[in-house]
Every structure is written in structure tokens, then in C-alpha cells.
A and B are shown apart, each in its own frame.
Chain A
Amino acid sequence: MTVLLDKARQRQTRVTGVILISIALLLALFLAPDATGNATFRLSRPNDTWPVPNLVVPGGAFIYVVSAFTAFLGVRLFLRGGAKWAPLILGVGLAVAVAAFLVWATAGKSFSLTGMLQASLVRAVPIALGGLAGVLSERVAVVNIGIEGMLLAGAFTGALVGSLAGGLAGLAAAVAVGGVFGFALAALVVTYRMDQIIAGVFINLFVLGVTSYVSSQVFQEYRALNNAPVFRAIEIPILSDLPVIGPVFFNQNIFVYGAFILAALATYYLFHTRYGLRARAVGEHPRAADTLGINVYRTRYVNVTIAGMVAGFGGAWFTLGSVGRFDEGMTGGRGFIGLAAMIFGRWHPVGALLAALVFGFADSLQQKLALLGTPIPSEFLAMAPYIATIVVVAGVVGRARAPAADGKPYVKE
């Protein structure tokens, strides 16, 4: 078994190396000759309290340096192996490659880096909360493909109840409905022992069906039901005046703060409380947990329901946190990217949050690049987050270990 694992690991390391080498070649052959002039990154806005000078980078030179560095990493990985560091090296390689790409796109122009980072954080929110919901349910060994549906349910409920009774009520209702679907998933897989992936697919299809039905049957006619207030950004005094960091981290709406707070709470819960320890025991070895007197079924119910509530909160971001209006299928695969973030983040709340920030960055990058007018067709830029997800899942999943009982139903003896 270890031999098989080692072989797979070695092959995976090789694949990672080849990916890095190809990126280096792409950078050197296509981007570097094309990048003429300096890339100017604006860090401050005109009326900031403490202005910071712009960051100016020479285009071509920077990309050649990055290309050489990436190639070095790739060749080293390919020849020397070193599986232990491969994910980190891949991460570093991709990060500098993205920086080089950004420099290429900006060469000869100027570009607000702070604005993009701020947008990254905002766009990371539903992915982070989806990932967090994934962590909470997979830690008790329930695979949650239904996060996409739970996000969509939260978005829909937020818009509907928010239009009727105001933003806070909408938020509460979104969280509650997310919880209901979490509970439903738990009931299907724990009590009725349905295949976990089919149960998740069912939740996705059901929520998509119901929300699309109501939105075309009711919202078309009664537009007032789909016109919710939006939560404004809350400026945190003093901290929000800091250059770069201020606008990015301390001038956001409650969803962004909520994602950070929930990730912290989930970490504390999972790793520093007895209930978290029980939850993880149920995810690793339910039989042993059961023997020690832990109620496996109840633990799964509670945790998956909480996961649903987190996803419902994340779903409300789509309506109450951004446009105030529900559109059919508006979550657009964010729940699945959240699952990728969970894997990338190694089933750890903070890891999932950081991974979500990477995806949020890719998401806002493609949006801002469209504005910069690069010769790359917008469709390809729009693919970037999805391709990044595949690369990440292919690049790290073999090494990141899922909870041992993940996906397996537990039948009490």
C-alpha cells in the first residue's frame, strides 16, 4: 500500500513539475516579449488619509525573472521529487506566475491594486462560507455536494424575506433555510442512508427547481417581492484609514467580517472544544466514537445542520450583500468552488478561507483584466477560476487527507 502511495505521490509531483515548467515557458515565450513599458499599480486613492506612492514595475524584465524562477521550481520538482513541499512550491509558482500575468496586462498602463484586492475579498465570501460549510460537514464524514443548492436557497430566501421584512430578517431567514436544507441532507444520508452524493445532487436540483419556479411564477408578476435592501459597508474607525490594508480589510460589509469571524469560530469549535473533538472522532472513526458513547447520528445531524446555516449565510451574500435581487441560478457554481477551497485548505476552516481568497482573487482578476482590455478573449479570462480549481484539486488532493470515514454511511450495530 505504501509503495503504491509513494508511486502515486511521485507521479503527482512530476505532474506538478511539468505544470510549472509549462507555465514558465508560456511566460517567457508569449508574455515577456509583449510586455513593454512599466506597469503602474495604484495603491492609494486620491483622498486617503495616508497616501502611499504607486508601485512601478518594469514589464519585460520582471516577467523574465519570474519565468526563470518558475522554471527552476518546476525542474527541481521534476528531477528531485520532494513530495512534501510540492503543494507549497506549486502555490508559490502559481502566485508569481499570476503576478507576472498581471504585470503583463498592466504594462504601459496603470491599475488600482487596492481596488482589486478589495473586490477579491468580497468575491471570496461565498466561496469561503461554502468551503467552511464543507469543512463542518465533511469533518463528521458527510460529503456535502449540496452546498451549491444551500447557497442558492440562502440567496433566494434573503431576497424574498429581505424584501418583505428588511435586511436583518432576510439574513436570519436565509440562515434558517440553509439550516433546514442541512438538516434535510443529514436526514437523507443518516436516517435514510441515501448515497451522500446523490442526496447532494438532489438538494441542488430541488433548490434550483423551486427557486427558478417561484422566480418565474411569482417574482415576474410581483416585483416588490424581489427588491431587498443591501447591507452597506461598515467602516471600522482608524483601522480603515490604514493604507491598502484599511480599504481591503476594514471597510467591508457584514458578510466579509462574518466570513472571517465564522472561520475563527469554526477553528475554535473544531480544535479547541470537546464537541469539536467528538465531531472529528465521528468523522475519523465512527465505530470507535460510538463505542465511547458519542451519539454518531446526533453529531452528524447537528454539524451538517450548522454547515447548512453557514451556507445559508453565504448565500444571502448574493442578494443582501451585493445586488438585492434574486436571479435564477445566480450562484453559478460558487458552492462547488467552495468544495475545492475546502480540499485546497485541507479540511481546515482557516485553510478553506485562505483558499477562498485565492479563488476570489482569480475571480476579481478576470473582471479587472477585462477592463484593462487585454488581447485575451474575455471567455478565457472567465475560465481562469475554474481552471485554477482543477489545477488545485489535481495538484494537492492526493496529499491532503480527508477525514477517514468521509462519505461512508454509519450503521449502528
Chain B
Amino acid sequence: MTSATEGRLLGRSQIEDLFIVPAFALVAALVIGAGVMLATGVTFSTIGQSYVALLRGSVGSVNAVSETLTAALPLVLAGLGLALGFRAGLFNIGAEGQIIMGGLAAVVAGVALGDLPAIFALPGALFAGALAGALYASIAGWLKAATGAHEVISTIMLNLISYRLLDYLLRTPLIQKEGRADPISKSVPDAAELPKLLTFIDINLRLHAGIFLTLAMVFVAYWLLFRSKLGFEFRASGENPVAARVAGMNAGLTIVLAMAIAGALAGLAGANQTLGVLDRATPGFSAGIGFDAIAVALLGRSHPVGVLFAGLLFGALEAGGRQMQVDAGVSIDLIGIIQSLVIVFIAAPLLMKTIFPWGFRRSDAP
């Protein structure tokens, strides 16, 4: 996907990769987004108003920053998992399903462990989330290793299956909230919740302790990818599967492990949502995070630090988009367009060069 050889935290070419290219991409995407608004009869003043709201809703106040971070956390976690997969040459579209499985398992474990002190209940619930995500992703990994089934199709199907499975499981007596007929899970007990961090400023601020988990995982993913033997095997299999096999690496095991770790991170993203934000599982609680995370991983060039910044950017777009919908009456779906355009501009350096011939001094495309 990108050249995987560089292991330094930030090299010179990576600064261009991580900051300059995304900045151009974002500007281009915002301009085209304005064009789309114009085409649907939105006036110039409203377009200005919506981009002001986008900025204000993402970084304009303590609440805005808290919302941006809250929205960014699951994107970073799931994006890290996908980035690991990309490095290993696996295009895992299944983060959405892994988030659902992880989030649901975290709720179930949280409810079961709710009577224990938080020091046991919370890690237990998080672990359950990671494990469920890992197991669900391993299905696709195993199918690929054992039969050669392409992970793109099998993970998409696992996503579609997970939606139905969630709807079903939310109605089973073990999970469904007592006395409710609609599909909704029991509430997560306090002991298993990720505690809110900023309630001393304002009771409504939603930022929670998942931020520490996320930062820790950025570090873990970085270490795993660039400092461990396993990460080397991932990158080797991704760069040149034949050479990796000739060098004695077990291709099948690498695939299953890479999928399992990716799934564990996506599962943590789900647990982050159910334990930190929603306090329960509901139908569709994954809310497309798994798909946005694909964009985040691509945007971050499959580098853990890049994923962190890309997640923050997408979190800001998400939080700002909500403000935009309220202030300017422009549908939040516009954000989806902007995000997709950011991907295409980043993933096609040649296209960027054509649009901004004066912007880059890159000697060659990766």
C-alpha cells in the first residue's frame, strides 16, 4: 500500500506524506464539497456559514474539542487494526462487523462482571470486546488461509451477517433490557463503564477514559509493526508474499494472526463505544465507524501515528458536521462526500500532482 520499509517515527518524506498531502487533499475536498452544495441550490452565504459551523463544531469550544476527540477515538482504534491488516496485505473491509461483535461482547461481559470492582470489571469487559472482535475477524482470516477466499468479499458478508446477528441477539433474554420489547441491551453497570473525564468542567462533556486506551494502542501498534518480529512478518508478507514464504514464514498463520489483531483493535473500538459513549448496545450502534476507519487508515498511510492524526481529522469532520447540520441546515451526509474525496486525493498521488502541479516536489509516486 505504501512503502513499509521506513520505521522511524517521522522522517522527512513522511512529513510530506502525513501532513502536506492530507492538507492539500482536505482543501480540494472542501472545495468540491462546496460545489456539491451549490449544485443542490444551497446559497453562497449558507455555504460559508456551514464551513464556519464545521470549524466551530470541531475545535471552537471545550465541548467541540471533547466531541471531536470522542468521535475520533473509535476511528483511531479501528483504523489501527485496518492499518495493520493493510501492512500485511489484507484488505479488511470487516471492521464494521468486528466493532459490532466487540461492542456487544463488552456489554455482555460488563453486565456479567458488573458486581466486581471497576479494576476487574472494566478490563474484563474491554478484553471481552477485543476477543470477540478478534474471533470474528479470524473467520475471514481462516477462510483466506485455508481456502483462498478473498477477504474483501468474506469480510463484507460478515458485516452484513453481523447486522442481522446483532438484531437477533439484542432480543435474547440474556442481553435484552428487562421489560423492553424493542431490541436494546441492558445498560452497562457503572463499574464496567469507561469513566467520563471532563465532568468537572461540564456534566455534559462526553470525553471518556477511552482516550488513554487509544493512545496506548497507537504505541502498541507502532511497536508491534516496526519493532517486533511479528510485525516484520506482517510487513514482509504484505510487501512480497512469495519472498516471505521462501524465507520460512507461515503465510496462513500470518494471515490469521494479522486478521485477529486487526479484529481485536476493531473490537476495542466497539467496546469503546458501548462502554464509553452509549452505555448499551442498540441496533446499528456501529454507525458506519468501520467504513470511516478504512478511510482513516488509508489517510494515515497505514502508519500508527498517521492513523492517529487522520482519526482526529475525521473526528473533527464528524463533530463539525453535526454542528453544520444544526446551524446551516446542510445534511451531515455532505461529510461522507468530503471524506471519500479526501481518500481519492490521498490514494492517487498522480491525480494530486495533476491538480496541483506546483504543490509537490515528490520525485516518484509510491
**A contacts, CB < 8 Å to B:** 8, 11-12, 15, 145, 188, 191-195, 197-199, 201-202, 205-206, 208-210, 212-214, 216-218, 328, 332-333, 336, 339-340, 343, 377, 379-380, 382-383, 386-387, 389-390, 393-395, 397-398
Contact = CB atoms under 8 A, between A and B. Distances in A.
A386 B164 CA distance: 11
A75 B160 CA distance: 31
Contacts of B365: 193
B244 interface: no
18 contacts: A11-B147, A195-B347, A197-B91, A198-B347, A202-B343, A206-B340, A213-B333, A213-B334, A328-B333, A339-B153, A379-B168, A387-B157, A390-B143, A394-B149, A394-B154, A395-B147, A397-B149, A397-B150
B154 A213 contact: no
Contact of B350 (A193, A197, A199): A193
Given A205-B291, A206-B341, A390 B347 contact: no
Contacts of A213: 36, 40, 331, 333-334, 336-337
Interface of B: 1, 36, 40-42, 91, 93, 143, 146-150, 152-154, 156-158, 160-161, 164-165, 167-168, 291, 294-295, 298, 330-331, 333-341, 343-344, 347-348, 350-351, 354, 365
Given A201-B294, A209-B340, A333-B156, A194 B347 contact: yes
B168 A377 contact: yes
* A contact patch SS: helix
A386 B347 contact: no
Contacts of A217: 40, 42, 330-331, 333-334
B30 to A, nearest CB: 14
A205 B347 contact: no
A188 B351 contact: yes
B331 A216 contact: yes
A212 B333 contact: yes
B297 to A, nearest CB: 10
Contacts of B291: 205
B333 A201 contact: no
A192 B350 contact: yes
A338 to B, nearest CB: 10
Nearest to A193: B350
B147 A386 contact: no
B182 to A, nearest CB: 14
Contacts of A199: 344, 347-348
A197 B152 contact: yes
Given A193-B350, A206-B344, A217-B331, A394 B143 contact: yes
Contacts of B340: 202, 205-206, 208-209
A391 to B, nearest CB: 9
Contacts of A197: 91, 152
A314 to B, nearest CB: 18
A12 B148 contact: yes
Given A206-B337, A208-B336, A214-B40, A393 B156 contact: no
A8 B146 CA distance: 7
A254 B46 CA distance: 43
Given A194-B344, A213-B331, A343-B150, 15 more contacts: A12-B146, A188-B348, A197-B152, A199-B348, A209-B337, A213-B36, A216-B331, A217-B40, A328-B333, A340-B153, A379-B164, A379-B167, A383-B165, A393-B157, A398-B148
A343 B150 CA distance: 10
Nearest to B170: A379
Contacts of B344: 188, 194, 199, 202, 206
B40 A386 contact: no
A188 B158 CA distance: 28
A389 B156 CA distance: 10
Contacts of A212: 331, 333, 336
Nearest to B164: A379
Contacts of A145: 152
A11 B146 contact: yes
Contacts of A198: 298, 343, 347
A386 B160 contact: yes
Contacts of B150: 343, 393, 397
Q: What 4 A-B pairs have minimum CB-CB distances, sorted nearest first?
A: A209-B336, A205-B340, A209-B337, A213-B333
A224 B148 CA distance: 48
B252 to A, nearest CB: 10
Nearest to A336: B156
Contacts of B347: 194-195, 198-199, 202
Nearest to B352: A192
A199 B346 CA distance: 11
A383 B161 contact: yes
A217 B336 CA distance: 14
B330 to A, nearest CB: 7
A145 B294 CA distance: 14
A389 B337 contact: no
A332 B330 CA distance: 25
A194 B348 contact: yes
Nearest to A218: B40
B302 to A, nearest CB: 11
B161 A386 contact: yes
- Of B91, B161, B294, B295, the most chain A CB neighbours within 10 A belong to B161
Contacts of A209: 333-340
A213 B340 CA distance: 13
Given A208-B336, A394-B154, A379 B351 contact: no
A197 B168 CA distance: 32
A187 to B, nearest CB: 9
B322 to A, nearest CB: 14
Contacts of A210: 36, 337
A293 B146 CA distance: 41
B298 A397 contact: no
A42 B334 CA distance: 50
Contact of B164 (A208, A382, A393): A382
A377 B41 CA distance: 46
Contacts of B153: 336, 339-340, 343, 389-390, 393
Nearest to B292: A205
A202 to B, nearest CB: 4
A400 B282 CA distance: 40
A336 B153 CA distance: 7
Nearest to B336: A209
Contacts of B149: 390, 393-394, 397
A8 B147 CA distance: 7
A15 B148 contact: no
Contact of B147 (A191, A340, A394): A394
